[in-house]
């Protein structure tokens, strides 16, 4: 990381960024070019493995599923607390406050019904702050993508 003065290393601070962001940008490989899609997500953190796991949902068919099947390598980016910092009359002094997390790892399409239900529960809890019961019927009607990130970094430029 080039800007060590903005690096966030405390795991709890990183998880606070993940809690707050709400939209994740999933990057997949599509031949010569990346394919990036914004998605709602849920997550969990495996402390003993230092592994951040994201769950996203979508249609049971489509481009992102095809790409994951061809190549499971993936990256994610999410950000929050975006606000313009004025530079007045000097355009070189403008900037932005932010907090972000970027990671790389592996995507998979979850087939196990109970893991799909768990992933959807985590998604709804992260997005709404409420716990929902997800039925087998609900879980069966969508695809659930799991992205495991053994490598991730975070940055912050607070107010």
Which CATH number does the domain housing residue 118 bear?
A: 2.30.110.10
Evaluate whether 107 touches 28 at the Cβ level (below 8 Å): yes
Examine residue 59 and state whether it is found in any structural domain, yes or no. yes
Evaluate whether 134 touches 113 at the Cβ level (below 8 Å): no
Examine residue 52 and state whether it is found in any structural domain, yes or no. yes
Examine residue 130 and state whether it is found in any structural domain, yes or no. yes
Evaluate whether 33 touches 69 at the Cβ level (below 8 Å): no
End-to-end Cα, the chain, rounded Å: 21
Per-residue model confidence as pLDDT tens for the chain (159 residues)? 677 778 899 999 999 999 999 999 999 999 999 999 999 999 999 998 989 999 999 999 999 999 999 999 999 999 999 999 999 999 998 989 999 999 999 999 999 999 999 999 999 999 999 999 999 999 999 999 999 999 999 999 988
Which residues constitute the domain of residue 37? 4-151
pTM score, two decimals?
0.92
Examine residue 158 and state whether it is found in any structural domain, yes or no. no
Evaluate whether 21 touches 79 at the Cβ level (below 8 Å): yes
Examine residue 39 and state whether it is found in any structural domain, yes or no. yes
Evaluate whether 72 touches 154 at the Cβ level (below 8 Å): no
Number of domains in the chain: 1
């Amino acid at each position: 990381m080039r800007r060590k003065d903005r690096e966030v290393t405390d795991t709890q601070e990183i998880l606070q960024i993940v809690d707050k962001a709400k939209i994740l940008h999933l990057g997949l490989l599509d031949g010569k070019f990346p394919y990036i899609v914004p998605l709602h997500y849920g997550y969990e953190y495996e402390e003993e493995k230092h592994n951040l796991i994201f769950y996203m949902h979508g249609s049971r068919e489509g481009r992102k599923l095809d790409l994951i099947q061809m190549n499971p390598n993936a990256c994610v980016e999410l950000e929050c607390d975006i606000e313009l910092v004025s530079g007045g009359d000097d355009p070189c002094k403008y900037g932005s406050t932010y907090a972000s997390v970027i990671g790389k790892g592996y995507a998979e399409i979850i087939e196990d019904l109970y893991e799909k239900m768990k992933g959807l529960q985590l998604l709804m809890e992260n997005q709404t702050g409420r716990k929902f019961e997800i039925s087998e019927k609900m879980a069966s009607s969508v695809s659930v993508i799991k992205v495991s990130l053994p490598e991730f970094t975070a940055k912050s430029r607070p107010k």
